[in-house]
Structure 1
Amino acid sequence: MSELNHELGIIALESSMELGNAIDKYIQNNRNCNESFLIPLDEIRFSNGEGKVKISESVRGKDIYILCDVGNYSCTYKMFGIENHKGPDEHFQDIKRTVGAIRGKAARITVIMPLLYESRQHRRKGRESLDCALALQELERLGVDEIITFDVHDPNIQNAIPLLSFENIYPTYDIVKAIICNEKSLELDKEKLLVISPDTGAMDRAIYYSSTLGVDVGLFYKRRDHSTIINGKNPIVQHEYMGRDVIGKDVLIVDDMIASGESVLDIAKELKKIGAKNVYVAATFAFFTEGFEKFNKAYEDGLITRIYSTNLSYIPQELYNSEWFEGVDLSELSARIINRLNHGRSIAKYMDATRIIQNLLNK
């Protein structure tokens, strides 16, 4: 694919409009042009809750990138006079509607879902659904050529679509850069910093962070009550720490997402009990499904120093205003990826950030 053959078109759904505008600006600057690459779109809802998508201009022969944040709970619509907030199901339906509205006229369709739809349910045990796999297969059947996501809960989910291009990007470099630039007192020294994995499932991520930063890694093991199920999962009975002594050290907890936050706050409390100095948290997605109050209290009590998370999924202004929260902007990285793909160039250098992280640390 060459730039001359396929004109770029970006369709930012309502859920990703802010990110889409920022990406558009970066690409305009990169190409020294003043013309927007965004394609106007109407997401229409009828009074009974049914919906449709209408594209306002031609997409024939274009290289189309559809942006959607399935985790954006701020998008609303009226149904029978009641205001409803869009959930992941409705956002995903709008992706399908958009592909349907394109009607096969585009040269190529790429769906960018930073938070992969239903990815938290990444494997099945017994009689339960596996919606993420079915959703990926549905996009493939609709004619989508490529799917791009960030820090997916379990990369093995791509095995559901073995013939479709599936790219999983990690925002490690941008998060590390934000931490280094903001935390002036943080020393990247083996004797002064530890990377912590909150559970066994996040261990690979923690090992990568610790390897690139040149520090050791520790692990918290979640002891669960497997005889009870609450909200679809076995409740955590206790967190047990395995690793080097943390007394007087700064610690960095790394994970893909923060949901209610109970787990990360329990771990922060345990780390403080055993002598940790400052507790930092880095997560690609921050949902805070039960609000910010408990985090405000944890910050006031000295349990956490700062939480870093990206703008790949919706972050309310109230969170940006919190002293303990620092947003990491991923619009430039997203723009670079779209720009290179549209030019038919490899994005391999964005798949492994080890070299550029080392360059950053050497500076």
Structure 2
Amino acid sequence: MATVMNSTMDVELTPAILFALNEHPLQSQLCQRLPAVNGQHSTRRFPDGESYLRIDTAVQDRHCIVLADLAYPDDKFLSLIFLVATLRELGAASVGLVAPYLCYMRQDKRFSAGEAVTSRIFASQLSSQIDWLVTVDPHLHRYHALDEIYTIPSKVVHAAPLLSQWLLSQKAMLLVGPDAESEQWVSQVASICHHPYVVGSKQRLGDTNVIVSLPDLSNFKDYTAVIIDDVIASGQTVVKCIDALHKQGVKHIFCASVHGIFVDGVDKVLLEKGVSQLITTNSIPHASNMLDLSDILVAPINQSIALLASAVNCNTISGS
């Protein structure tokens, strides 16, 4: 038995069952640390491309966790919904989602007439399927909190302390935010590790066409520049930032990101451009995963399950 504590009452829970939508490095780590039972399920494709799913672990009256990084979400969303819905049909006490990378945060307003505000639509659909959500550094730009679009309890974990701990052991580092959106990450990391930082400006001409300008770096030419951003997807902003650093004579460059999607092999492009080290968390599996999120995910997951169990117990008592 695992006892989970919260401020309202003590809740004694049978260990939750954790299902990974796809193979993920956090699965075994979280099962050990929560602790949780590793859930088993089988999937395959019918000849016409439709999905087959079977849950191989008994879930009746058990709290279930689904682990899914939602990079390239259009290929995963139906499978996620099938898994979550089946767990509910089989009698799971609750179903929560741990999405180390949360997708569909980019389109947070209607920039042009007729555009879909996909962040709101996706949040509405996902909220209707799960009981709680835990994620890592979602790309909040115009939204101040996930509660603005998600109607379920959500907890956000911040990875800045992990990167800061790594940077504390490094010397002569200049932290570089390529644009105004990255300033929140860079300033947070700098406040912990006490390295100097600068923030550039970006002009976006298209999805993959940007111009990045940096302030004068004449006092930092002998430093190692560490480009920091929350997400590297197409990587074009980082590529242009590297070019801007080279123009000012900065030769040693690292690149750190919470979420490394690296569309179309841009990770190799970054290395070819002179980045000597790529550093990411294991939110999305990649060879650059140096920072393990499992320790900082345990508490919010256990809290989410315990709070839900407490609410259910209170409802049961008041209705009895």
Alignment identity in percent? Answer: 20
Alpha-carbon distance in structure 2 between the residues aligned to 1:8 and 1:250: 44
Unmatched tracts of structure 2, length 5 or more: 1-8, 309-320
Q: Which runs of 5+ in 1 are unaligned?
A: 29-35, 72-86, 346-363
- Alpha carbons 1:9, 1:62 under 8 Å: kept: yes
Q: Does the Cα contact within 8 Å between 1:59 and 1:106 map onto a contact in 2?
A: yes
Deviations 1:339-359 (A, max 9, x none): 4544559xxxxxxxxxxxxxx
Partner residue of 1:219 out of 199, 216, 221: 199
- Equivalent in the alignment of 2:313: none
Match of 1:4 in 2: 12
The answer to whether the 8 A contact 1:14-1:43 is kept is no
TM-aligned CA distance change 1:202 to 1:224, over 3 Å: same
TM-score, normalised relative to structure 1 = 0.72
Q: What is the aligned length?
A: 294
**Mapping for residues 316-331 of structure 1, pairs under 5 Å:** 320=287, 325=288, 327-331=290-294
Counterpart selection for 2:105 from 109, 114, 119: 119
What letter corresponds to residue 338 of structure 1 in structure 2? I
- How far residue 107 of structure 1 moved from its aligned partner, in angstroms, is 2.4
Following the alignment from structure 1 to structure 2, what is the Cα–Cα distance between the partners of residues 59 and 101? 10
Aligned residue for 1:134?
121
1:167 to 155, 170, 174: 155
1:6–1:342 contact (8 Å) kept in structure 2: no
Tell me which residue corresponds to 2:278. Answer: 307
- Residue 46 of structure 2 corresponds to 46
Go from structure 1 to structure 2 and tell me whether the alpha carbon gap of 1:133 and 1:15 turns closer, same or farther (over 3 Å shift): farther
2:64: which partner in 1? 64
TM-score in terms of structure 2 length: 0.81
Q: Which residue of 2 aligns with 1:295?
A: 270
> How big is the shift at 1:207?
1.4
Aligned residue for 2:296, secondary structure, equals: helix
Matches within 5 A, 1:131-280: 131-142=118-129, 144-154=130-140, 156=143, 158-161=146-149, 163-180=151-168, 186-187=170-171, 192-225=172-205, 229=206, 233=207, 235-236=209-210, 238-242=211-215, 245-276=219-250, 278-280=252-254
Moved over 3 A (4+): 159-163, 178-181, 339-345
Inter-partner Cα distance in structure 1 for 2:116 and 2:49:
25
Change (3 A) 1:152 1:246: same
The 10-residue stretch of structure 1 (109-118 or 99-108) with the greater mean CA deviation from structure 2: 99-108
Q: Deviations over 1:94-127 (max 9, x none)?
A: 1211121023522222111111122233333122
User: CA 1:205–1:211 in 2, change beyond 3 Å: closer, same or farther?
Assistant: same
Task: Tell me how far apart the structure 2 counterparts of residues 117 and 335 of structure 1 sit (CA, whole Å).
Answer: 21
Which residue type is aligned with residue 285 of structure 2? Answer: Y
Residue 239 of structure 1: how far off its partner (Å): 1.7
Cα deviation digits, residues 101-155 of structure 1 (max 9, x gap):
023522222111111122233333122122232122112223x221111111126
- In structure 2, the CA distance between the partners of 1:41 and 1:25, relative to structure 1 (3 Å rule), is same
1:88 paired residue number: 73
- Cα distance between partner residues in 1 of 2:234 and 2:304: 36
TM-fit CA distance, 1:11? 1.4
Q: Are 2:123 and 2:150, in contact at CA under 8 Å, matched by a contact in 1?
A: no
The structure with the greater share of residues assigned to strand is: 2
- Contact persistence 2:127–2:150 (CA under 8 A): no
Q: Residues 327, 249 of structure 1: CA spacing in aligned structure 2 closer, same or farther, 3 A cutoff?
A: same
Structure 1 counterpart of 2:54, one-letter code: K
Deviation at 1:48, TM superposition (A): 0.9
Amino acid at match of 2:51: G
Q: Distance between the aligned counterparts of 2:126 and 2:275, measured in 1? A: 40
User: How many angstroms apart in 1 are the aligned matches of 2:48 and 2:86?
Assistant: 21
Offset at residue 220 of structure 1 (A)? 1.4
Aligned to 2:301: 338
